[in-house]
Structure 1
Amino acid sequence: MQFSLAALFSAVCVYLAAVTHTEQRIKLSQSDLNAARCIAYFPASKLLTVRSKRMVGGTLAPHVPWQAMVYLNDSFLDGGFAGGALISNLWVLTAGRNLFAKKSRQDIRGKDPVIPKVYLGISHRAEATAANEVAVERVILHPSFQNQSDWDNDLALIQLKKAVVMGPKVTPIPLPEIDQDPPASPEATGVITGWGYGIHLTAAASLKHLVLPLVPHTICKAEYENRQYMPTVDENMLCTGPTKYGENVCLGDAGGALAVKDPQSGDVFAAGILSYDNSCGQHKYGVYMALSKFLPWIKRVMRGDTQKSSALRNCAMDEIYARDENPVSSKIWRFVSRQQVVFSIS
């Protein structure tokens, strides 16, 4: 996550003001107290420290239980590491481009994705150790991944070998319902977390978060339309803008979930998976795969459907309706009772 250079002075002022505020030992705000109640194992003193340390390009995040690290290499030139979202006890959702060392459509064409290392329950890069690693069974790219551009259908599902144990440190984030999109109000925001690049082009040592404004689709589409090496924003995507301090997503944040709250129910769900993370203070908008548009594919994969599954289900249903509509045939099967299952009429 990164800051525009023009906003650096303002950010430093905010940081210094926050430190001064802390030194004056003011009381925690109501939102801090609510956060402390939600994360009982996180001492209040540490919450105050986190609140006071506004980072360049984001704020130190509290523990985010659905956050995954998808790791290929320490070097971004060799694939690096990125984000992912735990969506069940066996599945992690990430950006498809995260599974390749080189990300462009031209470089990826004809190549198989890399099986990554996946870490759960961590907030610091130093915690990416064998103790927090979960073994990967397989990875599945969206069937239309990079169909026309680098960012088309940029999703991949990672199946874990064993179901993870849920707890305070590891808990999945729900998917949206079909057509459950983020709030459309001008004040609507979403939260993204990651270990992406900062102002000094170094990856964050600790997980950071940004609260970003949601941007109307038409504005985002117009910003990137007909621009080389930029995403073609379509109906399967959604966008966020920078914070008022110029903070934005940056390289290495891709794959993270855009978490939002439903305005009616208050439920938290993953509205999107970050794909275009090259904003970095130079381009206005981060671009995400809108998960409500991909639910049929996600559910098919998680069910374990094969290419024949749909045909088999349709065949069974057609046969049932055919028998129901044609009671007279050479052989009719009927249920006689729960004890005596069937009899045959020739």
Structure 2
Amino acid sequence: MPQPREAAVPWEQWMPMLLVASLLWGALASTHTSLNEVQLGNDQSCPAPKGIEHGKVEHLARYQCDPYYQLRSRGDGLYRCSQQHMWLNEAAGEELPICEPVCGKPKNPARQVQRIIGGMMAAKNSFPWQGRLLSHHNHTAGATLISDQWLLTTGRNLYLGHSENSTLDEIAPTLRLFLGKETPAGAVELIVLHPEFPGAVDLALLKLKHKVPVGEAVMPICLAQKDYAKVGRVGFVSGWGWNTLLEHPKHLKYVMLPVADSGSCKAYYQTHAWKPLLNSHTFCVGMSELLESTCLGDAGSAFAIHDPEDDTWYAAGILSFDRSCSAAKYGVYVQMLSVLDWIKETMAAH
């Protein structure tokens, strides 16, 4: 007597074959790890889906990133269980993708209709890459988040309160970094000065001991891959530098400033008492229409440019000379394109 045919398996019973990538978060930390090395516990895996008549079940695992992170992979994040019972991606093989932070996408970007000496108070999360660096004896300086573990600042900022003979190992434990709304960023594990500091490039990289969670309040700025420092182009500079009362503000401020002609800038400082570094690694920025500018404590902050083509914010430069304070005509910034290779190589090596 023929047996009754088993009913078709409902969709909701075999749908769990798609594994959610967040369950494998620990495996994403290294490109040397493969899905085949990850052992999922009973509480993390779905039961094997049942087969169907005249068909087959394909076991799949698709990786997805948390909000404010994006997938970086040679493949598409989709892994299939092969005939050899190995999880493989068509392009990446066993190699797992990485979830890296989104950069330059503030939820509440600054607007050009708003107008650090007399700048405008920044709205919440307008400049999530802005860091506040407190050096020895509580000197305030700027720093710029460029990944979830690295920041840029000036080399001179690091020596505030220290002698020029101080070593970087001595300086690192004295630094305190804050991100977002005064959120501690943790200890500085490593300081790397640009090889041409202090003679030509006033720049340093700071590596945090631990990665910081990226979200609305804390987000790196993207590094400029092309020359945004064109004369007349307006950028945004945020910071904790002195205000008109010559004291550090209680709230983050920002100002809109135009890129200036380098020839005029060099001619100006040739007759000025101050002698900032001016060379092929730098560009100059003038005052705003209201004669606003940066001031002491703003160095290390980014000259942030919004690119409407991809709706992304880029650091075109890092403020080096912040002594203008509306008393000098130009601020001076380290040109990002001239140091981009060094930044990438240093981060990759450490």
Smaller-chain TM-score bracket: 0.5 to 0.7
Which letter maps to 2:218?
Answer: V
Matches within 5 A, 1:124-273: 127=182, 132-147=184-199, 152-177=200-225, 180-182=226-228, 184=230, 186=232, 188-225=233-270, 227-262=272-307, 264-273=309-318
Q: Looking at both structures, which has the greater relative contact order when contacts are Cα pairs under 8 Å and sequence separation is at least 6?
A: 1
Structure 2: segments with no counterpart, 5+ residues: 1-105
Q: How far is 1:207 from its partner?
A: 0.5
Indicate whether 1:91 and 2:150 are aligned.
yes
Matches within 5 A, 1:116-127: 116-122=175-181, 127=182
Q: How far is 1:90 from its partner?
A: 1.1
Contact persistence 2:116–2:292 (CA under 8 A): no
Indicate whether 1:294 and 2:334 are aligned.
no
Percent identity between matched residues is 37
Query: Closer, same or farther in 2 for the Cα pair 1:217/1:55, shift >3 Å?
Result: closer
Cα deviation code 1:241-260 (max 9, x no counterpart): 11111111000000001101
Of residues 17, 34, 39, the one that matches 2:108 is: 39
Contact persistence 2:320–2:333 (CA under 8 A): yes
CA distance in 2, matches of 1:291, 1:162: 25
Contact persistence 2:187–2:208 (CA under 8 A): yes
**For residue 122 of structure 2, what is the aligned residue in structure 1?**
61
Q: How far is 1:102 from its partner?
A: 4.9
Normalised to the residue count of structure 2, the TM-score between the two structures is 0.63
Contact persistence 1:94–1:255 (CA under 8 A): yes
Query: Closer, same or farther in 2 for the Cα pair 1:167/1:200, shift >3 Å?
Result: same
- Alignment coverage as a number of residue pairs: 238
Contact persistence 1:79–1:101 (CA under 8 A): no
Structure 1: segments with no counterpart, 5+ residues: 1-36, 41-46, 306-346
3-state DSSP of counterpart to 2:178: strand
3-state DSSP of counterpart to 1:190: strand
Cα deviation code 1:170-210 (max 9, x no counterpart): 11001111xx1115253x10000011111221111110000
CA distance in 1, matches of 2:304, 2:156: 20
Cα deviation code 1:249-285 (max 9, x no counterpart): 0000000011012365443100011010000111001
Indicate whether 1:285 and 2:330 are aligned.
yes
Contact persistence 1:70–1:83 (CA under 8 A): yes
3-state DSSP of counterpart to 2:223: coil
Cα deviation code 1:296-332 (max 9, x no counterpart): 2111110116xxxxxxxxxxxxxxxxxxxxxxxxxxx
Which letter maps to 1:184?
Answer: K
Indicate whether 1:111 and 2:182 are aligned.
no
Query: Closer, same or farther in 2 for the Cα pair 1:232/1:132, shift >3 Å?
Result: closer
CA distance in 2, matches of 1:155, 1:56: 23
3-state DSSP of counterpart to 1:283: coil
Query: Closer, same or farther in 2 for the Cα pair 1:206/1:281, shift >3 Å?
Result: same
3-state DSSP of counterpart to 1:270: strand
Which letter maps to 1:99?
Answer: L
Which letter maps to 1:112?
Answer: T
Normalised to the residue count of structure 1, the TM-score between the two structures is 0.63
3-state DSSP of counterpart to 1:254: coil
Contact persistence 1:176–1:291 (CA under 8 A): yes
CA distance in 2, matches of 1:223, 1:243: 17
Contact persistence 1:68–1:120 (CA under 8 A): yes
